[in-house]
Amino acid sequence: MDPRYPRPLKIHLVSSTDSPEFTDFTQSLTRSRIIAFDAEWKPIRTHQSSFPTVSLIQLACQLISDSGESDDSVVFLLDLSSIPLPSIWELLRDAFVSPDILKLGFRFKQDLKYLSSTFSSQGCEQGFDKVEPFMDITSIYQHLQHSQPGRKTSKDIKSLATICKEVLGISLSKELQCSDWSCRPLTEEQKTYAAIDAQCLLEIFNVFQAKIIKEGCLIHSPTESTVNLGLKEVLEKLDVCNKIVRMKFHEALDIVRATTSFIYPNIATEEGMALRTRPRNTLPMDELLVRIVNKYGEEILLNDSDKRARTSKRKSKRRSSVGLICKEKQGQSFEDWQGPPPWDLTLGGDGHPKFLCDVMVEGLAKHLRCVGINAAIPYSKKPEPRVKNLLKNEQLLEIIETFQLKICEDQLMSRCTKCNGRFIQKPLTTEEAVEAAKGFQRIPNCLFDKNLEFWQCMDCNQLYWEGTQYHNAVQKFIDVCKLNE
Ligand SMILES: [Zn+2]
């Protein structure tokens, strides 16, 4: 039992399809009404023209046990670095779209994009394009807040750690989040961390479901709506509601018992594999869950553009070795640049502009970084003038025009101006940023409650946020680089 988690967790690492854990996994899929998903991938430091490769999927399955109880759960960690992906693609896709399984996730669309691209690149071209029925923990959290009368609701997008703390009273450790998830074997801490991240989603949902049962608003027929009832009246009705819930639950149990008797023997003899060819091998949801799904359920759809990795403004050009340009030969006076630039493909370059700016044009280096161009400043003691213009903005335009650099708006603010580094993949929330900034950077109080996105440099850890200054700077570079023209 993990000291940070109040309940013992059942964790199974699945590393091959030829293992007892895999059999256990396929059986559990057929016995799950609710599955919480999460995924881990190796944090990327360099630009990649594709999404990061997911190396682990966590599935926390809420199981219906043989006796019909539904409070048992188990977490499977699917090791995508060792399982041949085509052997589990269908299984996962079926689970993603099964009407019998409610899927839970925390801001899961991004995970799904990465999963889809990981599977596409390894023999499952279709990837994944749909998760339904689905509920996002962020929406569940908002419903939980709204249902507390008089409570001020926040528009902030809270981190999962905060939601867990508030709803479950437990503290999630985030220190392993950026660990290398592609290294094997996974440490015990990594396994526990990964499992908790999925398990806590189930538990948050259970709190939500308990609340719905308590408030009874989904139990009555539409004509008996409790929408206009005060808290007191709701409480008075509670006893009645509980009876109705119990009754419905027993009806559901009867269905479950009736179904299990002929489904389980098949699972046992065919070890779960043949089940994939059957149209419906899962157990139907109970009535309460059906009502929750009908009222609160969402879907995640990936279209073709979602599946393509864009050169986003946060991760664009590959950071490769720095080329030297703007260089005049000793003894020659400065002349306009002629011919293709040194990074040109025909000259054996990699097509990515990079600049080495000496300390005389340090300001220009920062401006170049602001528009997403790789610009290094070497520790040179002998400054020589290399651009004609004296002002940074004009120097920047001079360089852009001389080398015919194509700057697009996506590139703006995509590099750390302090060190030329690249940013993390996912923005941080204010709270995460405050935590990340501890000890070296202060996040001004005035930024709280503004629902800003924070970006951290992967090299020097400097934090940036999209406040007024950011927007002014973007506008300025749009003007300087003449992107509007
Ligand atoms: Zn930096």
| CA 106 to centroid of ligand 1, rounded, Å | 28
Structural domains in the chain (count): 2
| CA 480 to centroid of ligand 1, rounded, Å | 23
Q: Report how far apart, in Å, the C-alpha atoms of 158 and of each of 141, 163, 449 are.
A: 9, 7, 11
- 382 in the same domain as 274: no
Confidence of residue 92 (pLDDT cuts 50, 70, 90): very high
| CA 437 to centroid of ligand 1, rounded, Å | 13
Type of residue numbered 350: D
| CA 402 to centroid of ligand 1, rounded, Å | 27
Enumerate the H helices of 157-230 as residue ranges.
160-168, 188-215
| CA 450 to centroid of ligand 1, rounded, Å | 24
| CA 461 to centroid of ligand 1, rounded, Å | 6
- 397 in the same domain as 296: no
64 vs 70: which has the higher pLDDT: 64
Residue pair 53/180 in contact by the 8 Å Cβ criterion: no
| CA 327 to centroid of ligand 1, rounded, Å | 26
Quick check: 5 pLDDT over 80? no
Angstrom distance (rounded) from CA 398 to CA 378: 21
Confidence of residue 314 (pLDDT cuts 50, 70, 90): very low
- 183 forms beta bridges with none
Q: Does residue 6 sit within a domain?
A: no
Q: What's the confidence (pLDDT) of residue 200? A: 93
Q: Does residue 366 sit within a domain?
A: yes
Kindly calculate the radius of gyration of the chain based on its CA atoms and give it in whole angstroms. 27
Given 291, 306, 321, which residue is the final one in a domain? 306
Structure tokens of 215? 């408030």
Q: What's the confidence (pLDDT) of residue 26? A: 93
Confidence of residue 217 (pLDDT cuts 50, 70, 90): low
Quick one: DSSP state of residue 157?
-
223 vs 369: which has the higher pLDDT: 369
Angstrom distance (rounded) from CA 246 to CA 139: 27
Count of CB atoms situated within 10 Å of the CB of 281 = 19
pLDDT in tens, 199-216: 999 999 999 998 888 887
pLDDT in tens, 257-302: 443 333 333 333 333 333 333 445 677 788 888 889 988 899 999 9
Angstrom distance (rounded) from CA 46 to CA 458: 10
Quick check: 94 pLDDT over 90? yes
Q: Does residue 337 sit within a domain?
A: no
- 74 in the same domain as 214: yes
Nearest C-alpha neighbor of 121 from the set 303, 300, 314, 308? 308
- 390 in the same domain as 289: no
Three-class secondary structure of residue 219 per DSSP: coil
| CA 24 to centroid of ligand 1, rounded, Å | 46
| CA 125 to centroid of ligand 1, rounded, Å | 37
Largest separation between any pair of C-alpha atoms in the chain: 95
Residue pair 57/115 in contact by the 8 Å Cβ criterion: yes
| CA 241 to centroid of ligand 1, rounded, Å | 57
Nearest C-alpha neighbor of 454 from the set 480, 483, 429, 418? 429
Print the domain residue range for 449. 345-480
Angstrom distance (rounded) from CA 176 to CA 196: 12
Helix-, strand-, coil-residue percentages of the chain, each rounded to 5: 40, 15, 45
- 189 in the same domain as 41: yes
CATH of the domain at 131: 3.30.420.10
Average pLDDT over residues 222-245: 41
| CA 462 to centroid of ligand 1, rounded, Å | 5
- 455 forms beta bridges with 464
Q: What's the confidence (pLDDT) of residue 82? A: 94
- 98 in the same domain as 47: yes
pLDDT in tens, 417-427: 989 988 888 88
Quick check: 96 pLDDT over 90? yes
398 vs 6: which has the higher pLDDT: 398
| CA 386 to centroid of ligand 1, rounded, Å | 25
- 212 in the same domain as 123: yes
- 284 in the same domain as 153: yes
Q: Does residue 407 sit within a domain?
A: yes
| CA 163 to centroid of ligand 1, rounded, Å | 30
- 190 in the same domain as 55: yes
pLDDT in tens, 324-373: 333 333 334 445 677 778 788 877 778 888 888 877 788 899 999 999 89
pLDDT in tens, 71-91: 689 999 999 999 999 999 999
- 294 in the same domain as 363: no
| CA 464 to centroid of ligand 1, rounded, Å | 10
Angstrom distance (rounded) from CA 32 to CA 272: 14
Average pLDDT, the chain: 77
Structure tokens of 146? 């709204």
pLDDT in tens, 378-432: 765 555 567 888 888 888 999 998 888 989 888 898 899 989 988 888 889 888 8
- 249 in the same domain as 171: yes
Phi and psi angles of residue 402, each rounded to the nearest 5 degrees, phi first: -60, -45
Confidence of residue 127 (pLDDT cuts 50, 70, 90): very high
Q: Does residue 312 sit within a domain?
A: no
Residues with CB under 5 A from ligand 1 (ion): 416, 418-419, 421, 457, 459-460, 462
Quick check: 172 pLDDT over 50? yes
Q: Does residue 313 sit within a domain?
A: no
Q: What's the confidence (pLDDT) of residue 11? A: 94
- 290 in the same domain as 371: no
Q: What's the confidence (pLDDT) of residue 44? A: 63
Q: Does residue 100 sit within a domain?
A: yes
| CA 314 to centroid of ligand 1, rounded, Å | 13
Given 259, 290, 306, which residue is the final one in a domain? 306
Quick check: 36 pLDDT over 90? yes
Q: What's the confidence (pLDDT) of residue 155? A: 55
| CA 89 to centroid of ligand 1, rounded, Å | 39
Q: Does residue 92 sit within a domain?
A: yes
Q: What's the confidence (pLDDT) of residue 379? A: 67
